[in-house]
Structure 1
Amino acid sequence: MKVSVTCIGQPEKVPGKTYRTGINKAPVSGAVMIDESGLLGDSVLNRKHHGGPDQAVYALGSVDLAAWSAELGETVEPGTFGENLVIEGLDSRLVRVGDRFETDDVLLEVTSTRTPCATLAARMGDPRFAKRFYQMARPGFYARVLRKGTIGAGDPVTHIPFDGQSVTMPYLLGLVTKQVTDQQRAHLLALPISERLRAALAG
């Protein structure tokens, strides 16, 4: 397993929206510095819902991009969904909260899943894309940076499974549209989830 692509984005407008967004990511060459805030040079504009220490990095697997390409009938280029990292050989459906991904320099810890929004739908030119995103159940994942350093295409990646009972990204995505039970809430709050998710569950 290795880093396939690293991507960053600059403030731009997407069709049908008046605000600027950093969702349009593009691959960069060479190594990029990554710290608790994310990749150096990457723009995160809607700080209420995106970014921050617990959502510093958004990642997908190459298996996910291949599946999306088949679903959409065209090649989905890295960065299309706003992801910062594409990991070669990874299927994000198998990733769980608390899993870690380690390179020689960087250590990431999975905190939550990506959920679709109006900006993503506008980016894809499909107002119903959120429903499609839920149905595909390949949401990728957000991660916090436990050890900062540089990261770039070709860097070997070790996937370290969470040592304990956890939840997968598709399972977590599915809970977004359902009423969470007390048992599910207690289970999630015991995991190293993002502070946004923790606040939503506690509230």
Structure 2
Amino acid sequence: MADDGVRETSAAGPNVLSVNVGRPEEWDPKQHRTGIHKQPVGYLEVSDPGPREGGGRSGVAGDFVGDEKHHGGSDKAVYLVAREELDHWERELGRSLPNASFGENVTTSGIDLDGALVGTRWRVGTAVLEASLPRIPCRTFAWAMDVPGWLKRFTQRGRAGTYARVVEPGRISAGDDIVEVYRPAHGITVADVFSARTTGGRDVLARVVEAGVLPSVHQRDYEARLRK
């Protein structure tokens, strides 16, 4: 894939609005803990946390991951959400959604994260991040939002932001430019992968599987879904 892609620098524009980390808190009667309620901080130190199978830590220093089965690890090291999506939901819900409201580590402006091709790389601050997977909404997210029917509404919208791998460790701060440094040649977007996992049907699922662009453990999961 790397040999067939495009390497480029883009015009100034996309940037980081906020960088955010979460501290552990209990969220249900079973005393499950979560770090979804993130708060803005001065900067993030990001690095590859290693495979999820070894314990799904965040790729962000000081950020808590409660559900290590589904979050954290190399393929979900950093979570990015566009401010434009928060603005959309502010209008839909009629309430304020400050940066970090979706539990994201990085709130962006001026970039279509969901339209990014899987494997796209950006230099952000001194780090390089790679778009890897969409966020799949879970019951912790529903609890944090406290909106009736939230998971269904969020899923139908189909714009969930992207998890990213940390290709080069570094520091990310609010105000940093987001510069595309590599774009793969295939046509599979983060939104396509979300659709294949949720509402898109077998045609979309088959297209994503055939492209073979997902991290290996997730590729196997999508292949298994297609066989059902």
- Say whether the fold is shared (TM-score over 0.5): yes
Match of 2:116 among 95, 104, 108: 95
Partner of 2:202: 179
Q: Which runs of 4+ in 1 moved over 4 A?
A: 180-183
Name the aligned partner's letter for residue 74 of structure 1. R
Q: CA deviation at 1:163?
A: 2.5
Which residue in the other structure is 1:77 paired with? 98
Matched AA of 2:61: L
Work out whether 1:134 is the aligned partner of 2:147.
Answer: no
Query: Which residue does the alignment assign to 2:9?
Result: none
Matches within 5 A, 1:95-134: 95-134=116-155
CA distance in structure 1 between the partners assigned to 2:88 and 2:217 by the alignment: 29
Q: Which runs of 5+ in 1 are unaligned?
A: none
Report the equivalent of 2:16: 3
- Percent identity over paired residues: 33
CA contact (8 A) 1:113 1:173 kept: yes
Mapped to 2, the partners of 1:109 and 1:122 lie a distance apart of 29
Paired residues of 1:103 and 1:156 also in contact (CA < 8 A): yes
Counterpart code for 2:136: T
Asked if the contact 2:131/2:163 (under 8 Å) is kept, the reply is yes
- Say whether 1:12 aligns with 2:25: yes
For 1:183 and 1:134, how far apart are their aligned partners in 2?
20
Point out the structure with max Rg over C-alpha.
2
User: Where in structure 2 are there 5+ consecutive unaligned residues?
Assistant: 1-13, 50-58
Task: Report the RMSD for the aligned CA atoms in angstroms.
Answer: 1.9
2:186 paired residue number: 165
Deviations 1:108-139 (A, max 9, x none): 00111111111111111135211111122220
Task: Write the distance in 1 (CA, Å) between the matches of 2:30 and 2:84.
Answer: 30
Normalization by structure 1: what TM-score?
A: 0.89
Q: How many residues align?
A: 199
- Rate the CA distance shift 1:17–1:119 in 2: closer, same or farther, 3 A: farther
Match of 1:64 in 2: 85
